[in-house]
Structure 1
């Protein structure tokens, strides 16, 4: 996983990290985990599920609230982080060090266009929702 400085952020508080193997790792921002409070449960998307950028595909629950996790890019869910399902509190401990699932982009062209629609860390942190 890269440094959070290379992550791209959605307005809905997910981060996307494009890896050398072409997969995009997805997690939630520090702001999101802080707003949720102590995470108690994570319902992951299904392996093989086709997702569309912006679509609600997973759920995260804390003692305060439940929130949807949206797909930052379109593609296929290819991996789930079993450690997070077993110990969802890891999200609070290391929001930028813990990925939730991986997406195989539909194509390099669509990925490039979709990543341009996301924000850098600096843009995200100065945005109205943070």
Structure 2
């Protein structure tokens, strides 16, 4: 996975509202798992995300379940590309949000869990990665 710099910048810049000391990775783990995974999916842009990347970056299992849940909850369809595994055995899907409209739905869902999680600037940077309409 190419480093998801936007995701890392947003996570690093979050106002954790825990205390005034420096925040560590353990603070990040206090963010509920669903908004954490949904934020990663929204930040991927044209790179997309695999379930293994959700596992690695968010330290969550069953990454595919978060993609499927987004589709069910928001009535959207994620684009899927079948990729061969690096060891040559089997394959996995890379998931992509299709449009700015679908991404806005994901952002709204994230904000329903954590209303102050994203600034207007963060939302604009996420949305700017996506096309206006599904091609």
TM-score strictly above 0.5: no
- Bigger helix share: 2
Larger radius of gyration between Structure 1 and Structure 2: 2
TM-score (norm 2): 0.34
Larger RCO of the pair (alpha carbons < 8 Å, separation 6+): 1
TM-score of the pair, normalised by structure 1: 0.35
Higher strand share: 1
